[in-house]
């Protein structure tokens, strides 16, 4: 490991991350290689981003060819890849229209702004309240942060955006009471990701859809992490057979090329007018081409079926581990708790033995491997994890 690089990084980068002491230089499929040539099986995938793994030939070819032709024009003009991508997303999701942006936080900002404008236009000037859920995570910009429950992330930056209220996860009675004439939207993740991989039961998602319809409140289903095949369907809400009014996407969409999108349906797809919102980089040809390739390969290689099958295999194996409890998730978005509360040590030991996993807390391990992960790679990863779990408790 290049310790000079790490000290150079410490000298010039803002101190915003607790990085692990490893320098990656290349990758192949579901594996990364460090600067000493060591191979790591990657069950983090750039935090649920590298849907097609690393160095996927179709993805490399697509963005290389696009880069050689035309890469960016701004949204003052029309370009083909953006329109094709919007058409594909509309068809695959069942939503009506798309706004492009560059990250998950921005996709949520678009949804929150649409919700506020919709409330004022459709329900009246006092209709500004947005409800979010405890343990939820929606990003780091001030608006998205204001909808994020974790006081650790929020407190240094108050005052936040007003009139965003947190209620307890799954407390449908309170939700019902607070969805009044002054409430324009509910924002929530179908499976909470950063909060520790807590899935919402499909029946509960159906309940939320009915409640939002009854109370005339927009439902923002933040699928930034769950969307684009991660849970074995194109979008996680499809497991419940319901659609939200707004669906922010990002992480897996570009397969590692930064792109976000906010999908909108019905009235929510009609409220923004020219000048209301925008982004300079959004939907540029390279990003759109990368995302089109991700969608194409998921379909061509039947990855949704593979994600369901391999995810089920991983969960069934983890359930047999005595040092793990509460194995949960859908598809290749998997969480489990370490019985000894040593998740961060398990992450370190796994890395030392050639497996990358992520801890969302001292208890919880999160597995979000590339969607291309094979059964053989899954079993190899579980073997390494088993070894890491068996290490000393502290």
Ligand X SMILES: *Cc1c(COP(=O)(O)O)cnc(C)c1O
Q: Which is nearer to ligand X, 108 or 293 (CB)?
A: 108
Site string for ligand X, 191-210 (x = CB under 6 A): --xx----------------
252 binds ligand X, rule: CB under 6 A = no
Is residue 222 annotated as a catalytic residue, yes or no? yes
Site residues for ligand X, 311-330, by CB under 6 A, read none
CA 137 to CA 143: how far, in whole Å?
12
Q: Which of 43, 137, 235, 257 is catalytic?
A: 137
Q: Which is nearer to ligand X, 108 or 363 (CB)?
A: 108
257 binds ligand X, rule: CB under 6 A = no
CA 342 to CA 357: how far, in whole Å?
13
Q: Which is nearer to ligand X, 185 or 384 (CB)?
A: 185
Is residue 34 annotated as a catalytic residue, yes or no? no
347 binds ligand X, rule: CB under 6 A = no
Binding test (CB under 6 A) with ligand X, winner from 131, 224, 253, 365: 224
Q: Which is nearer to ligand X, 104 or 255 (CB)?
A: 104
- Among the listed ranges 58-66, 222-230, 231-239, 289-297, the one in contact with ligand X (CB under 6 A) is 222-230
104 binds ligand X, rule: CB under 6 A = yes
Q: Which is nearer to ligand X, 139 or 196 (CB)?
A: 139
Q: Which is nearer to ligand X, 258 or 341 (CB)?
A: 258
Q: How many CB atoms lie within 10 A of CB 320?
A: 10
- Three-class DSSP labels, the chain: CCHHHHHHHHHHCCCCCCCCCCCEEEEEECEEEECCCCEEEECCHHHHCCCCCECCHHHHHHHHHHHHHCCCCCCCCCCHHHHHHHHHHHHHHCCCEEEEECCHHHHHHHHHHHHHHHHHHHHCCCCCEEEEECCCCCCCCHHHHHCCCCHHHHHHHCCCCCCEEEECCCCHHHHHHHCCCCEEEEEECCEECCCCCEECCHHHHHHHHHHHHHHCCEEEECCCCCCCCCCCCCCHHHHHCCCCCEEEECCCCCCCCCCEEEEECHHHHCCCCCCCCCCCCCCCHHHHHHHHHHHHHHHHCCHHHHHHHHHHHHHHHHCCCCCEEEEEEECCEEEEEECCCCHHHHHHHHHHCCEECEECCCCEEEECCCCCCCHHHHHHHHHHHHHHHCCCCC
Q: Which residue is nearest to ligand X (CB)?
A: 104
Site residues for ligand X, 118-137, by CB under 6 A, read 137
Q: Which of 42, 222, 236, 245 is catalytic?
A: 222
Binding test (CB under 6 A) with ligand X, winner from 27, 53, 139, 381: 139
Binding test (CB under 6 A) with ligand X, winner from 63, 110, 127, 222: 222
Q: How many CB atoms lie within 10 A of CB 142?
A: 14
138 binds ligand X, rule: CB under 6 A = yes
Smallest distance, ligand X to C-beta of residue 66, A: 22
Binding test (CB under 6 A) with ligand X, winner from 105, 130, 282, 286: 105
**Number of residues counted as binding ligand X (CB under 6 A):** 15
Binding test (CB under 6 A) with ligand X, winner from 132, 146, 225, 293: 225
Is residue 169 annotated as a catalytic residue, yes or no? no
Judged by the rule CB under 6 A, the positions of this chain that interact with ligand X are 103-105, 108, 137-139, 189, 193-194, 222, 224-225, 250-251
Q: Which residues are part of the catalytic machinery?
A: 137, 222, 251
């Amino acid at each position: 490991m290049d310790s000079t690089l790490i000290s150079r990084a410490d000298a010039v980068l803002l101190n915003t991350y607790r990085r692990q002491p490893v320098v990656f230089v290349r990758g192949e499929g579901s594996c990364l290689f460090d600067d000493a040539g060591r191979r790591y099986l990657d069950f983090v995938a750039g935090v649920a981003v590298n849907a097609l793994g690393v160095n996927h030939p179709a993805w490399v070819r697509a963005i290389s060819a696009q880069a050689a032709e035309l890469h960016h024009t701004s949204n003052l003009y029309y370009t083909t890849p953006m329109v094709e991508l919007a058409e594909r997303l509309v068809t695959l999701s069942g939503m009506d229209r798309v706004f492009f942006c560059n990250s998950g936080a921005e996709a949520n900002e678009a949804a929150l702004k649409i919700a506020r404008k919709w409330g004022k236009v459709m329900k009246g000037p006092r209709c500004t309240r947005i409800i979010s859920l405890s343990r939820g995570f929606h990003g780091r910009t001030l608006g998205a942060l204001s909808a994020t429950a974790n006081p650790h992330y929020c407190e240094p930056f108050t005052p936040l955006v007003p009139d965003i209220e947190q209620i307890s996860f799954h407390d449908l009675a309170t939700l019902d009471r607070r969805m009044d004439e002054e409430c324009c939207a509910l924002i929530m993740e179908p499976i909470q990701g950063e909060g520790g991989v807590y899935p919402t039961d499909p029946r509960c998602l159906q309940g939320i859809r009915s409640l939002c319809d009854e109370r005339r409140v927009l439902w923002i289903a933040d699928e930034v992490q769950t969307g684009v095949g991660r849970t074995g369907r194109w979008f996680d809400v499809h497991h419940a057979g319901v659609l939200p009014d707004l669906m922010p996407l990002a992480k897996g969409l570009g397969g590692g090329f930064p792109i976000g999108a906010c999908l909108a349906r019905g009235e929510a797809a009609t409220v923004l007018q020219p000048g209301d919102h925008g982004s300079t980089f959004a939907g540029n040809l390279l990003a759109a081409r990368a995302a089109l390739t991700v969608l194409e390969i998921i379909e061509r290689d039947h990855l949704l079926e593979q994600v369901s099958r391999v995810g089920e295999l991983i969960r069934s194996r983890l359930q047999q581990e005595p040092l793990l409890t509460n194995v949960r998730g859908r598809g290749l978005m998997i969480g489990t708790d370490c019985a000894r509360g040593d998740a961060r040590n398990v992450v370190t030991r796994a890395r030392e033995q050639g497996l990358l996993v992520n801890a969302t807390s001292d208890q919880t391990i999160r597995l979000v491997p590339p969607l291309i992960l094979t059964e053989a790679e899954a079993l190899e990863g579980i073997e390494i994890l088993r070894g890491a779990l068996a290490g000393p408790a502290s």
